[in-house]
């Protein structure tokens, strides 16, 4: 069965069981700067798991594009992926354990045709926070899971939460027996030897965890996730996802192009190529911070491994074309963004080639110095300087260190890198706050105008627009926002007109205080939500705008006067800047 068939079967099955099919959210979370990428199907659904009604009802299903980057260094082995697709179904306070387990069992055994003896399941063994899940265990027994195929584990294995705080609960996981020999007489799903592969996770989300501990949510939810690549691999009897139709064409092409051999390198190239293409297609661009840096690392690591296999780097566009053709049935957006993806990756490749040449020269100078001192260690400080001044990737420094038989302190580098990131983030935050701190009459007006401009841009250009920065003086406002292309005269005019209309509509500006979670659930705009405390101030301008903000603001939009855009220009890659005045 091909991946697309598995996906379609899944969505149809749950549709037939009363679920609405909802679209995959973008990989780059909307309104949530606190996480880099969407990492699970539940992530865009948090407000609804917390109790906000979902417009599509209480039963939902989707396929969700996900990127998880904590395992980036593991890619190249036979299973790790940075991008994957998660099939999911949700009950938002509707069905619970029994129906969820029944549906999962039916889907696995009837729709996918997996023999029951190949299935094992795990349930939560219980602790002080939550009782042993005898209900789930009984449901599994009742549907037909074989004796001896139900295991009880603790929080490490059978409890699910995204990060440290949020909705969570005990889960039940389904495992597929690959038929490989047991690693020991005690071989079981949790041992990780590869005989059992986890295929589906149903989380019974009825708790909320914060710093103080666990409380019960308003409703009992179910959140499930099934990894498409893994299921495809297992049903096709393949050893790795790279042997399925998702990766095979690119893997074969790499084999044909390579002049040196390494299956790990081929996997890294194929995997990172797909990930980068998906991220770019959803609006990501390479940079030196956060998301942009992840994308940069993926592309650069791919290029390094192309070098390692001695593949002509010009072949990258051929590989992209091939991958668009391979994946466009699963992700039609790739076809739409084919040229854009090529342009972004080629530009990054060109930058990287230059960086590599220059960085390697600097690295060699450092090595000479270290040797002259009779030392053998490359300090984290040197790794950081090469990175910070020349953009030389730490991973490459590490490779070169090994080649030169030197030791290298990556921990020290990581500390320095973290400190650097925090400093830049705080800096950006400061700029943002800097505007807000001043309280003159004009500045106050500009603050409110900023919110109106943000809302107007979203209406004129699309919901992808988010604030990336702002700076206000008595004379003018500057507003940076995510958008790819130059605004047309028409778009500028529409934006101005809209802001001026709202000004003449004389809309009251209300100041509200609420819990951070509530603000997130109401989809309030926020640039640095992680920087705010538990209780946040939100400014509401009619139905037009809802933004986390410290203020101050005018009390009615009619106070602003006439809004005029003076300039629209590029600020950085994927970010535009507007300078505007109130007259």
Residue written as token pair 């069965």? 1
Residue written as token pair 């791919």? 302
Nearer to ligand SER, 160 or 392 (CB): 160
Q: Based on the shown chain and the rule CB under 6 A, indicate whether residue 41 belongs to the binding site for ligand SER.
A: yes
Q: In angstroms, what is the C-alpha Rg of the chain?
A: 26
Q: Binding residue for ligand SER (CB under 6 A) from 201, 244, 265, 454?
A: 201
The residue range among 17-25, 223-231, 281-289, 366-374 that interacts with ligand SER, by the rule CB under 6 A, is: 223-231
452 HSE (CA, 13 A, CB side): 39
Residue among 516, 540, 583, 577 nearest 452 (CA): 540
Q: Based on the shown chain and the rule CB under 6 A, indicate whether residue 221 belongs to the binding site for ligand SER.
A: no
Number of residues that bind ligand SER (CB under 6 A): 10
Q: How far apart are CA 158 and CA 255, in angstroms?
A: 40
Q: 3-class DSSP state for residue 375?
A: coil
- As measured in angstroms, the least distance from the Cβ of 163 to ligand SER is 11
- As measured in angstroms, the least distance from the Cβ of 205 to ligand SER is 8
Q: Based on the shown chain and the rule CB under 6 A, indicate whether residue 203 belongs to the binding site for ligand SER.
A: yes
> Which residue has the CB atom at the shortest distance from ligand SER?
225
Q: Are 446 and 477 in contact (CB under 8 A)?
A: yes
Instruction: Tell me how crowded residue 404 is: count the other CB atoms within 10 A of its CB.
Output: 15
Nearer to ligand SER, 41 or 469 (CB): 41
- As measured in angstroms, the least distance from the Cβ of 41 to ligand SER is 5
- As measured in angstroms, the least distance from the Cβ of 378 to ligand SER is 38
Angle (CA) 305 306 308, round 5°? 60
Q: Mask 112-151, x = binds ligand SER (CB under 6 A)? A: ----------------------------------------
Q: Binding residue for ligand SER (CB under 6 A) from 85, 133, 206, 223?
A: 223
Q: Binding residue for ligand SER (CB under 6 A) from 44, 88, 394, 435?
A: 88
Q: Based on the shown chain and the rule CB under 6 A, indicate whether residue 174 belongs to the binding site for ligand SER.
A: no
96 HSE (CA, 13 A, CB side): 11
The residue range among 217-225, 386-394, 455-463, 473-481 that interacts with ligand SER, by the rule CB under 6 A, is: 217-225
The residue range among 133-141, 221-229, 372-380, 449-457 that interacts with ligand SER, by the rule CB under 6 A, is: 221-229
Q: Binding residue for ligand SER (CB under 6 A) from 27, 42, 294, 436?
A: 42
Q: How far apart are CA 183 and CA 407, in angstroms?
A: 36
Strands (E), 379-436: 407-408
Q: How far apart are CA 227 and CA 186, in angstroms?
A: 26
Q: Binding residue for ligand SER (CB under 6 A) from 167, 225, 435, 552?
A: 225
Q: Mask 527-556, x = binds ligand SER (CB under 6 A)? A: ------------------------------
Nearer to ligand SER, 160 or 446 (CB): 160
Strands (E), 353-440: 377-378, 407-408
Q: Based on the shown chain and the rule CB under 6 A, indicate whether residue 38 belongs to the binding site for ligand SER.
A: no
Q: Are 58 and 220 in contact (CB under 8 A)?
A: no
- As measured in angstroms, the least distance from the Cβ of 133 to ligand SER is 16
Question: What does the DSSP assignment read for 437-487?
Answer: H---HHHHHHHHHHHHHHHHHHHHH-TT--EEEEEE-SS-EEEEEE-SSPP
Nearer to ligand SER, 33 or 88 (CB): 88
Q: Binding residue for ligand SER (CB under 6 A) from 224, 244, 467, 470?
A: 224
Nearer to ligand SER, 46 or 187 (CB): 46
Q: Based on the shown chain and the rule CB under 6 A, indicate whether residue 160 belongs to the binding site for ligand SER.
A: yes
Instruction: Tell me how crowded residue 361 is: count the other CB atoms within 10 A of its CB.
Output: 11
Quote the longest CA-to-CA distance of the chain. Answer: 80
Q: Are 558 and 534 in contact (CB under 8 A)?
A: no
Q: Are 78 and 234 in contact (CB under 8 A)?
A: no
Q: Are 464 and 482 in contact (CB under 8 A)?
A: yes
Nearer to ligand SER, 203 or 231 (CB): 203
- As measured in angstroms, the least distance from the Cβ of 201 to ligand SER is 4
Residue among 425, 442, 527, 408 nearest 479 (CA): 527
The residue range among 220-228, 333-341, 419-427, 439-447 that interacts with ligand SER, by the rule CB under 6 A, is: 220-228
- As measured in angstroms, the least distance from the Cβ of 42 to ligand SER is 4
- As measured in angstroms, the least distance from the Cβ of 158 to ligand SER is 11
256 HSE (CA, 13 A, CB side): 9
Q: Are 229 and 241 in contact (CB under 8 A)?
A: yes
Nearer to ligand SER, 41 or 44 (CB): 41
- As measured in angstroms, the least distance from the Cβ of 230 to ligand SER is 12
Q: Based on the shown chain and the rule CB under 6 A, indicate whether residue 40 belongs to the binding site for ligand SER.
A: yes
Cβ contacts of 457 within 8 Å, gap of 6 or more: 465, 481, 483, 495
The residue range among 37-45, 68-76, 424-432, 573-581 that interacts with ligand SER, by the rule CB under 6 A, is: 37-45
Q: Based on the shown chain and the rule CB under 6 A, indicate whether residue 169 belongs to the binding site for ligand SER.
A: no
Q: How far apart are CA 426 and CA 419, in angstroms?
A: 10
Q: Are 30 and 463 in contact (CB under 8 A)?
A: yes
The residue range among 40-48, 250-258, 328-336, 399-407 that interacts with ligand SER, by the rule CB under 6 A, is: 40-48
Q: How far apart are CA 454 and CA 431, in angstroms?
A: 17
The H-assigned helical ranges of 242-327 are 248-257, 263-281, 290-308, 316-327
Nearer to ligand SER, 17 or 358 (CB): 17
Q: Based on the shown chain and the rule CB under 6 A, indicate whether residue 444 belongs to the binding site for ligand SER.
A: no
What is the contact surface with ligand SER in residues (CB under 6 A)? 40-42, 88, 160, 201, 203, 223-225
């Amino acid at each position: 069965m091909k991946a697309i068939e598995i996906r379609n079967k899944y969505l149809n099955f749950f549709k037939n069981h009363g679920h609405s099919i909802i679209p995959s959210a973008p990989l780059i979370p909307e309104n949530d700067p606190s996480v880099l990428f969407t990492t699970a199907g539940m992530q865009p659904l948090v407000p609804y798991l917390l109790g906000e009604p979902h417009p599509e009802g209480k039963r939902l299903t989707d396929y969700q594009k996900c990127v998880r980057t904590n395992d980036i260094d593991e890619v190249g082995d036979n299973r790790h992926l940075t991008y994957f697709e998660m099939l999911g179904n949700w009950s938002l306070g509707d069905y619970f354990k029994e129906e969820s387990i029944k549906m999962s069992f039916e889907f696995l055994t009837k729709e996918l045709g997996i023999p029951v003896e190949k299935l094992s399941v795990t349930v939560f063994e219980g602790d002080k926070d939550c009782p042993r899940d005898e209900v789930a265990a009984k449901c599994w027994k009742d549907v037909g899971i074989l004796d001896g195929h139900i295991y009880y584990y603790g929080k490490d294995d059978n409890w699910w939460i995204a990060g440290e705080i949020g909705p969570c609960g005990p889960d039940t996981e389904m495992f597929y027996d690959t038929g490989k020999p047991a690693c020991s007489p005690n071989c079981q799903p949790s041992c990780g030897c590869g005989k059992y592969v986890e295929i589906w996770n149903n989380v019974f989300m009825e708790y909320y965890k914060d710093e103080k501990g666990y409380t019960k949510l308003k409703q009992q939810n179910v959140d499930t996730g099934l990894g498409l690549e893994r299921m495809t691999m297992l049903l096709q009897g393949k050893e790795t996802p790279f042997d399925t139709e998702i990766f095979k064409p690119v893997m074969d092409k790499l084999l044909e192009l390579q002049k040196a051999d390494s299956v790990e390198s081929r996997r890294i190239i194929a995997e990172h190529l797909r990930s980068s293409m998906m991220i770019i297609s959803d609006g990501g661009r390479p940079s030196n911070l956060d998301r942009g840096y992840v994308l940069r690392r993926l592309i650069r690591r791919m290029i390094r491994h192309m070098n390692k296999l001695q593949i002509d780097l010009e072949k990258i566009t051929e590989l992209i074309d091939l991958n668009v053709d391979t994946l466009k049935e699963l992700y039609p957006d790739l076809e739409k963004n084919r040229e854009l993806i090529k342009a972004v990756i080629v530009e990054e490749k060109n930058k990287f080639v230059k960086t590599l040449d220059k960085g390697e020269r600097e690295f060699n100078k450092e090595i000479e110095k270290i040797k002259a001192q009779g030392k053998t260690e490359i300090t984290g400080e040197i790794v950081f300087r090469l990175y910070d001044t020349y953009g030389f990737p730490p991973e490459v420094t590490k490779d070169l260190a090994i080649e030169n038989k030197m030791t290298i302190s990556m921990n020290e580098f990581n500390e320095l890198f973290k400190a650097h990131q925090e400093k830049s983030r705080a800096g950006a935050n400061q700029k943002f706050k800097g505007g807000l701190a001043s309280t003159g009459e004009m500045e106050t007006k500009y603050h409110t105008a900023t919110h109106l401009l943000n809302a107007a841009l979203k209406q004129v250009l699309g919901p992808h627009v988010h604030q990336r920065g702002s700076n206000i003086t008595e004379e003018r406002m500057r507003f940076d926002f995510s958008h790819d292309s130059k605004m047309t005269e028409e778009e500028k005019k529409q934006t101005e007109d809209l802001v001026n209309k709202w000004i003449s509509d004389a809309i009251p500006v209300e100041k509200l205080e609420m819990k951070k979670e509530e603000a997130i659930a109401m989809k309030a705009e926020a640039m640095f939500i992680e920087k705010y405390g538990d209780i946040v101030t939100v400014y509401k301008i009619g139905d037009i705008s809802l933004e986390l903000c410290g203020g101050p603001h005018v009390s009615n939009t009619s106070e602003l006067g006439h809004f005029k855009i003076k300039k629209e220009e590029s600020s950085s890659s994927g970010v535009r800047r507007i300078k505007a005045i109130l007259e």
